Amino acid sequence: MNTRGTRRLRDGREVDIGRNDGLCKVCRCGRHKWTKCPHPWHFSFQWEGQHYRFSLERHIGKKLTKAEADVEAERLRSAIRAGEFQAAKDGAHQPKPQQPAPLTFRQFADEWRARRGYQLVRPGDNDSRLKLICAFVLAGTQPPTTFGEKPVTEITTGDIEAYRHHRRMQKRSAVTINHDLKLLRKMFAWGIRERLLHATPFKVAGENVVRLDPESPREERLTDQERERKLFDAASQHLRGVITAMLETCCRPGEILSLQWQDVDLETRELTIRAEKTKTRRARRLPISSRLLAVLDMRRLDPSGKPFPPDACVFGNRLGERVKSIRTAWENAREAAALDGFQLRDLRHEAASRFEEAGVLTTDVSKFLGHRNLSTTTRYLNTTSRRLRLALLRVEQARAQSESLANSCKETPDSVPHADDAEASSTPSKSLPS
């Protein structure tokens, strides 16, 4: 064995120093038994005239295998060469204490985006919101500090409220502001679960202190067939198909645009919305109506007359490729149909309301919408004046039936003969003497 010399043990014996880069065991076991013997590993290293020698396992604070000891020894040698290792007063060698730089919100957001954000539906929207949040300059900071530069552990409830006020001054809707707040609340809750944070600015002593803005309910409806006809006339053929699919399935626009032919079963007349394409990460299977079936039959073939492959998008372009957005087409059709204020997402509300008006149970409407609870579904059901008139008509009909039944009950005792009268009538009458 090639050796670097000998060293004297405490008991006076001299042993060879092998080529182990200063990693050894001070015991009576042979070198070939070091990997299995229970004795601790020792570290010995000389740099710039100073000798570093101590128990490696005592320094680390745990039992080490040979592989782990090699890793820790190399880490210590690197620290010694870089001057980041100093001797403690008791003679042991300890690394220089270094205070880690505080984690900023921007760094925390990058960590969340890498570990969690990519798993969510439409992560691009989250990236856009985080960009605006990080760029917001906090008032009263000197020098001016942005939300992204502030340590995440020092963000307060006041900072959250300041950002809310900033978005209000930008004339943003309550829905948009709530989306920002929900994203922040979700991120801080994730940070606590991952032990990156100890508290969230959204709660104080376990109580929610940041409330969402009240949202005005969406009450825009296609109140009559004339408005729907104008919308279809103004829409392109592709947009008409998307509108029909949304009205017949209660699906979101993104769920319709990402629908592939492998998710459509024309024989059983069912389509599948896969979990990875839904907002709630829950798959659902929906029936295909006759109206939607006609649209699917028209879109089944490509320009060459052959059926689209399974991975082609049902409502894609002419080649079956995914259409990223229909916002421009929708806004042009809405303007031509004079439906100011009616948004694309209102079609989902319209579909749910129509299902409920047709007598479909709310629990079944919730299944179409893909909601987890009925309270969310009830916010989608918009009442129209026609539905109110129908409800009033049912009340009047029920009242009339009740009054008719009550009158019939009053007349029944008079019409039925009394028992004595019936007995008298059954007895032959005797003629009185003249």
Q: Examine residue 203 and state whether it is found in any structural domain, yes or no.
A: yes
CB 349 within 8 A of CB 215: no
Both 60 and 124 in a single domain? no
Looking at residue 32, what is its pLDDT? 79
Tell me the average pLDDT of the chain: 81
Does the pLDDT of residue 114 top 60, yes or no?
A: yes
**Burial label, 213 (beta-carbon count in 10 A; 0-12, 13-18, 19+):** middle
Same domain, residue pair 248 and 306: yes
d(CA 191, CA 6): 53
Q: Please write the tens of the pLDDT for every residue from 15-47.
A: 555 444 678 888 878 777 888 888 888 888 887
One-letter amino acid identity for 360? V
Other CB atoms closer than 10 Å to residue 139's CB: what's the count?
12
405 lies in some domain: no
Q: 47 or 200, which is more confident?
A: 200
Same domain? For 199 and 247 the reply is no
Beta bridge partners of 94: 86
Q: How far is CA 412 from the centre of its chain?
A: 65
Last residue in a domain, options 42, 68, 95: 95
The answer as to whether 376 is a domain residue is no
Question: Are 175 and 258 contained in the same domain?
Answer: no
Q: What pLDDT does residue 186 have?
A: 92
Separation CA 71–CA 398 (nearest Å): 84
- Using DSSP bridges, classify how beta strands 203-204 and 270-273 pair: parallel, antiparallel or unpaired: unpaired
> Same domain for 272 and 309?
yes
Peptide bond into 143 cis (omega under 30): yes
**145-146 vs 137-138, strand pairing mode:** antiparallel
Domain membership of residue 355 (yes or no) is no
156: CATH: 1.10.150.130
Residues 253 and 195 in one domain: no
Confidence check: pLDDT of 426 > 50: no
Residue 297, domain CATH:
1.10.443.10
What is the number of structural domains in the chain?
A: 3
Question: Of 62, 95, 128, which residue is a domain's last?
Answer: 95
Per residue in 233-273, pLDDT (tens digit) is 999 999 999 999 999 998 989 899 999 999 999 999 999 99
**Contact status, residue 25 vs residue 42, Cβ threshold 8 Å:** yes
Whether residue 78 is found in the same domain as residue 163: no
Taking Cα atoms as reference points, which of 155, 159, 178, 158 lies closest to residue 168?
178
22 and 68: one domain?
yes
* Structural domain contains residue 369: no
Instruction: Show which of 75, 95, 115 is a domain's final residue.
Output: 95
Clarify whether residues 147 and 197 are in a common domain: yes
Does a structural domain hold residue 392?
no
DSSP alpha helix (H) spans, 32-154: 56-60, 66-81, 105-115, 123-135
Place of tokens 């629990």: 363
232, 335: one domain? yes
With the C-alpha atoms ordered 231, 233, 234, 236, is the resulting torsion angle positive or negative?
A: positive
Tell me the β-bridge partners of 55.
42
Residues 261 and 332 both lie in one domain: yes
The two structure tokens encoding residue 283: 């798959």
Rounded distance between C-alpha atoms, residue 144 and residue 138, angstroms: 7
329 pLDDT more than 90: yes
Q: Which tops the pLDDT comparison, 125 or 18?
A: 125
For 101, left (φ over 0), alpha (ψ -120 to 50), or beta?
beta
Q: What amino acid occupies position 392? A: L
pLDDT at 401 over 70: yes
The full 3-state SS of 345-377, as one line of letters, equals CHHHHHHHHHHHHCCCCHHHHHHHHCCCCHHHH
pLDDT band of 379, cuts 50, 70, 90: low
Give the pLDDT band of residue 76 (cuts 50, 70, 90).
confident
Q: Is 177 helix (H, G, I), strand (E, B) or coil?
A: helix
Tokens 């279809």 belong to 232
Q: What's the residue count for the chain?
A: 434
Q: Is residue 359 part of a domain?
A: no
Q: Is residue 197 one of the residues assigned to a domain?
A: yes
Q: Give the global pTM.
A: 0.55
Query: Is there a single domain that holds both residue 233 and residue 335?
Result: yes
136 — pLDDT class (breaks 50, 70, 90): very high
Among residues 326, 314, 319, which one has the least CA distance to residue 277? 314
pLDDT at 217: 63
Residue range(s) defining the domain that contains residue 48: 3-95
